[in-house]
Chains A and B, each alone.
Chain A
Amino acid sequence: MKGYFRKFVPLALATVFAALSVIYPARAAPDVSIAELQAVAHALGFLEGVPRSGTIEIGIVYNAGEPDGRALALQTAGRLTSISGPNQTTFKAVIIPTADLLQGTDQLDAVFLNPGTSNEAATITDAVKRRHLVSISDDPACLDTGCCVLMVRINGPVEIVLHTALAEIVGARFSTIFKMMVKRR
């Protein structure tokens, strides 16, 4: 009888785990996914001054020193332009190396900080403050370095943090309801 259980239990467990792995397949780790960009798009809908129709222009900021920096920025830009903006808008995306952010003259509604830009936070912060740009990132570290107005992260429960001091400096004004629902620091 004991031998029967020794054989049966591992077999049963293996069957259950095999079934669960089919029913609940492992999920791939996300980078700047379309879902993340959609969350960014929804958040922009609560920002004052963003067009309610027509085109919203977003700068995708990348680290030119990273081997895949430009390619990743192009990928993010492509994904962003494939989704709808808030209200009746569409997105236009331009990629911008961090070093060029300060000198740029494009009329941007916001900038998205692509992965890999965290070690250039000082440059970004300086540019954002001088050009009054609304910067958005999915990296929580951007809040500590003070280079993002908004941190939007969707891994696990959606987390949105508003950097109130930087928002005030760059003149970013969000609706009161939005400010009540996000975390602030």
Chain B
Amino acid sequence: MSNARTNSGHKAAIRRAMYRIVSLTGIALAACPSMLHAQSIDYGSLEQLFGEPVTTSATGSPQRATEAPANMEIVTAEEIRRSGASDIPGVLRHVLGVDVMQWNSDNSDIGLRGYNQVYSPRVLVLIDGRQVYADHYGYTPWAALPVELNAIRQIEVVKGPNAALFGFNAVSGVINIITYSPLYDDVNTASVSGGTQGFGQGSAIKTLKFGDKGGLRLSASGRVDDDYSTPIPASAGTLLRNHNDHFAFDLDGVVRLSNSVQLEFEASHTGAASNDFGPVYSFAHDENLSSSVKTQLTADTDYGLVKATVYRNWISINTFNALNTKIKFDDEVTVAQFQDIYRLGTDHTLRLSLEYRHSSVNTTPFVGGHVFYDVYSAGGMWNWNITPSLSLTNAVRFDSLRLGRDGATPAGYPFVNSDWNRSLGEWSYNSGLVWKVDDPDTLRLLVSRGDQLPSLANFGAFVIASPAVNTTGNPNIDPTDVMNYEIDWDRALPIFGAKFRTAVFYEKFADLISLTGGSFGGAPAYTGMANAGSSAGRGMEVSLKGTFLTHWRWGANYRFEYISDQFEPFARDGKAYLDFEHVTPRHVAKANLGWADDRWEVDGFLGYQSATQGLAGLPFSSGSFLTPVPDYVSVDARLAYKPTEWATLSISGQNLLQSPQQQTSGPEVERRVFATLSVNY
């Protein structure tokens, strides 16, 4: 009864928030004396105009990548195609500052500048601004994203906190996947692939244009593959591998309502079954069904560029592990956003934003309860071009979270629902000074702060109540505060057709969240999640990339990072599924060389990671321990041939140098080879 009443209250709150957003937008639009050009961002035209990618992921305002007050890597569509990868983690593993832990053939975790772990919670991942990060367990299910590689215009990787723009969880950084616009771009492709490990994939994208009034893009894909056949470490359990499979449908549309107003809409549905390395470093099977709907209204007015967005995500995930515990989360996230970007005079750009978010999930494996929160946020950004060569950007955001729980609790549970009646208020900010010293040189000074929100599971949605073991999330757990300081220097080397970039950074994490360490009483006693302490990382990045002799391109980068953890005794030396000091490799180097003409493309990628350690789980989820991971060198490559203008044949491979190869504390990875036929029509 209480559950039904509270959920009904939430739905009413969501309806009210959406009504307010739509009403505010309507009032703002109606109040405009005149309208200018319509504008969702035409990335293609702007990139052609400025000769470099354009992004909104640094400040929310459109900017040239070189002028953004953030350390950002932009992976272009050409780089995605020439990576030879079959999924997004495969693309990103070649990118400076991106750490990929490949657990299974279809299961990876991604961290930025180290700080990676299973169910990596500190990187906020979005597709066209819509969060695909899963709030219920605080991670990104990469195998279940509803996006085709051929539909991606660029992947924007922002390193360091960017919570003042995106809110909670954008603390190690943001990965914003930008797809082609159905209005401005015409993408019509189909591809089929086959490869080792029983890999088979089909994908099709069709764009329908309605003059300059609108466009619609439909995409669909299916994929099957077997997992690696290398042994699963004994510490990860005794479960046998399943086949991996994936399907996805996505619909994106834009309607030009007038010269100044555009309506965008998106709907997606994805299913993925994959072998998974779970939060306690145990082997599991996941079945993931995800859906989303989104609509966005953009208007170019005398009062600035006004954008109102509403979206909803549903994730239903079943996990089967070796303990034969069925864990089923049904996660719903509703987000309503409003923002106005306004240019004031010749030197100032302002952005004002409001956001409402509701996220809820059921308790599991104990059933009958729900944990949820509402977040009300307000933020602002001020970009000041102090001189033609010097700009200062300050952004600030306040998030007010109200946590709650309803429904049943297990007998003897140490908490009652009112323990979740808790409010949190968190400030985040980004400040960046960008100094274009001269044509080739740009310096950036960046300071930023953000918060990683405990997942809904951390907050108490995860409850095991059994005679043998009692485990629970913790309604009193605190968010992780993250600070980042860095200095970047970019230098163009036009005589070599190259760019040099370097960055020195210091990042500090306080109140990191562990799955163990909490002791809550009850009968029998419950243990569970707790704040484990702090950690600090110091590092530097250097990269060079360029082109020569028309057909050649090359790149080389290196990252050094040293991390020191200051954990509570229960979590030291990797005992509590959390360790960064021993697990993050000190040295990571990547290089690539490629050649292309009208018919052929040849690319090779080299990766090196110094010896480190990994975490492995103890039996019955009773903690973890450190295990050595040797240094390794990996090679990926792609060879492609275009027999006609509309067809491309390619063969690509991952981990070509050595197979099997240990890259994590999980199963050794194997060599993979794919052959693909792509057709543009």
Contact = CB atoms under 8 A, between A and B. Distances in A.
B64 A176 contact: no
B46 A176 contact: no
Interface string A165-179: 000000001111111
Given A48-B36, A154-B51, A184 B548 contact: no
Interface residues of B, number: 40
10 contacts: A38-B48, A42-B49, A48-B36, A158-B49, A158-B50, A158-B52, A176-B36, A176-B39, A180-B305, A180-B349
Given A175-B300, A181-B62, A160 B39 contact: no
Contacts of B39: 175-177
Contacts of B627: none
A156 interface: yes
Interface string B375-389: 000000000010010
B564 interface: no
Contact of A24 (B37, B42, B305, B497): B497
B496 interface: yes
Nearest to B492: A157
B645 interface: no
A87 B186 CA distance: 12
A4 B225 CA distance: 61
A49 B391 CA distance: 32
B273 interface: no
B93 to A, nearest CB: 29
A45 interface: yes
Contacts of A177: 39, 41-42, 46, 62, 300, 305
B439 interface: yes
A123 interface: no
Nearest to B40: A177
Contact of A180 (B36, B50, B62, B549): B62
Indicate the size class of the contact surface on chain A: 20 to 34
Main SS class of interface, B: mixed
A24 B300 contact: no
Interface string A43-55: 1011010001000
Given A23-B548, A173-B37, 17 more contacts: A24-B495, A42-B48, A46-B45, A48-B37, A158-B49, A158-B52, A175-B38, A176-B39, A176-B304, A176-B341, A176-B343, A177-B305, A180-B62, A180-B341, A180-B349, A184-B346, A184-B347
Contacts of B497: 24
Nearest to A27: B494
Contact of A181 (B63, B495, B496): B63
B346 A185 contact: yes
A86 interface: yes
Nearest to A155: B439
Interface string A23-43: 110000000000000110011
Contacts of A48: 36-37, 259
B66 interface: yes
Contacts of A158: 49-52
A87 B212 contact: yes
A86 B49 CA distance: 11
Contacts of B212: 52, 87
B61 interface: yes
A24 B546 CA distance: 11
A42 B41 CA distance: 14
Contacts of A86: 45
Nearest to A175: B37
Interface of B: 36-39, 41-42, 45-46, 48-52, 54, 61-64, 66, 212, 259, 300-301, 304-305, 341, 343, 346-347, 349, 385, 388, 439, 492, 494-497, 548-549
A156 B48 CA distance: 15
B54 A176 contact: no
Nearest to B46: A181
Contacts of A181: 46, 50, 54, 62-64
A130 interface: no
Contacts of A118: none
A164 interface: yes
Contacts of A184: 343, 346-347
Contact of A183 (B49, B66, B385, B439): B385
A77 B349 CA distance: 37
3 A-B pairs closest in CB distance: A175-B37, A42-B49, A184-B346
A146 B37 CA distance: 25
A52 B45 CA distance: 14
A156 B36 CA distance: 31
Contacts of A176: 36-37, 39, 300-301, 304-305, 341, 343
Contacts of A156: 439, 494
Given A52-B212, A156-B439, A175-B37, A24 B496 contact: yes
Contacts of B54: 181
A174 B38 CA distance: 11
B581 to A, nearest CB: 41
A172 to B, nearest CB: 12
Nearest to B51: A158
A23 B66 CA distance: 26
Given A42-B48, A156-B494, A177-B62, A23 B304 contact: no
Contacts of B341: 176, 180
Contacts of B45: 42, 45-46, 86
Contacts of B349: 180
Given A176-B305, A183-B385, A184-B346, A157 B66 contact: yes
Interface string A103-146: 00000000000000000000000000000000000000000000
A50 B52 CA distance: 25
A98 B486 CA distance: 52
B305 A39 contact: no
A86 B385 CA distance: 29
A48 B34 CA distance: 13
B263 to A, nearest CB: 17
Nearest to A23: B548
